[in-house]
A and B are shown apart, each in its own frame.
Chain A
Amino acid sequence: MIAIAIVRTKDLLAVVMLTGIYGLLSASFFVVLDAVDVAFTEAAVGAGISGLLMLAAITMTGRAEAPKRHKPLLALLVVFVTGGMLIYGTLDMPYFGSFDAPIHQHVAPRYINDSMQEVGVPNIVTSVLASYRAFDTLGEVAVIFTAGIGVLSLLSLPRRRRSSQLDESSKDQMHEQHMVLRIISKILIPFILLFALYVQFHGDFGPGGGFQAGVIFAAAIILYAMLFGLETARRVFNQSIIQLIAAIGLLLYASVGVVSLFNGGNFLDYNVLAQDPIAGQHLGILLIELGVGCTVTAVMIIIFFNFAGRREAQQHSTKQNSHELNSTDQSCTELKEAE
């Protein structure tokens, strides 16, 4: 229903708010479907970061959508025909929740029954992600890294270009107005960071892991950047160091694979990393989750800093928008608290 509202709304700002709600709803939906790890990620990404990035983009591109000039009848027809065919296709699908469906027959039983002996990690999602399908995950981290580079090359600005006093003072004034938010966020940020670290290192035993921790960590830093100004955040988190961290994360991941090659195993075969295979698996998973966490955090921060930096350089009349940024941010914080 929210999706339908998104179709109808012309005001892009409202669309983005609705996307946030949509992300939160789908996160709770994932909890209902027993996918806790996924819900985690979706809550931080769908309801937090993606909305923020879209807001940042909208402040640069304007928030009104032009009215349509042509009738969307053709599009509707195409959509209905495709949808009808897809629904016809579902008639042969296994029923929802049935356990003799083909998807549960193939490799899943091995993961569920043997992962404790082979990997020794209670969270099956983590053991599949980091051990059985580590090569996939390496590829995905590489994709994230590449996307980060892409944003960097598209949006990065020559550094230290603007230093107008007037701009600086107006920003200060703007941030004075959000005293309550700033104080509360100052209290909250350490807890969010701590929570992210917990999610990072406890991912073997409970829901969590590098991807989730990465986005939560990045969200905390973005919150800081938003409330205390980009300049302050830039001073605290040096951009070139963050770019380095993104690369190091990916390298750490790949080098774990290379080390296991040198130790006589296959690429990313952790059994050979230590004397005891289980200990090797633990070490391998810990290291590559760390790599994933580093890369994801760094790339998210790079993306946000570049969007926000571009915006500040472009427009100075963003007071009104920053109000809205703060309010989404607060909901994003509340969300993390709820978790």
Chain B
Amino acid sequence: MMLLGLYNYWIVVMLMMIGFYIVIAHGNLIKKLVGLTIFQTSVFIFYISMGNVDSGSAPILAEGVARYSNPLPHVLILTAIVVGIATTALGLALVVRIKESYGSIEEHEIQIQDQLTEDKT
């Protein structure tokens, strides 16, 4: 019973580890970016769930509401989401350029090609 109160953190850790696993175990660069996105979302959920208060209401001041959720994590995460999509787009742009110059987005194929060019020089 005591430990059940921590379930939100466990969900976060699970999601985080799934994202982490995708990043380290998959070779495909787009898949890696998806993994990073999941990791990112888990951090969002972590912050938001920390800001939540029992029987609290959304942090918009109104009559007759005594207790609000903590607005600070909301602010941080709100901006983090938009920054996150911008940086993800930058990552995708890099992937597209890698595809153009290497003809592949699989990590090991890129490494093989790099090896070959190094041997030549």
Contacts and interface: CB of A to CB of B under 8 A. Distances in A.
Interface of A: 3-4, 6-7, 12, 15-16, 19, 22-23, 26, 29-30, 33-38, 41-42, 45-46, 49-50, 53-54, 56-58, 60-62, 65-66, 68-69, 72, 75-76, 78-80, 82-83, 86-87, 90-91, 93, 95-99, 101, 103-104, 107-108, 111-112, 115-116, 122-125, 128-129, 133, 136-137, 140, 143-144, 147-148, 150-151, 154-155, 205-207, 209, 211-212, 214-215, 296, 299-300, 303, 306-307, 310
Contacts of A15: 30-31, 34
Nearest to A103: B50
A280 to B, nearest CB: 19
Contact of A41 (B3, B5, B81): B81
- Binding site secondary structure of chain B: helix
B38 A124 contact: no
Nearest to A211: B82
A50 B97 CA distance: 18
Contacts of B3: 91
Contacts of A49: 85
Contacts of B44: 26, 30, 38, 42
A3 B38 contact: yes
A41 B17 contact: no
B9 A207 contact: no
B60 interface: yes
Interface residues of B, number: 79
A43 to B, nearest CB: 10
Given A22-B38, A61-B95, A137-B79, A3 B67 contact: no
Contact of A128 (B8, B58, B75, B108): B75
Contacts of B96: 57, 60-61, 154-155, 307, 310
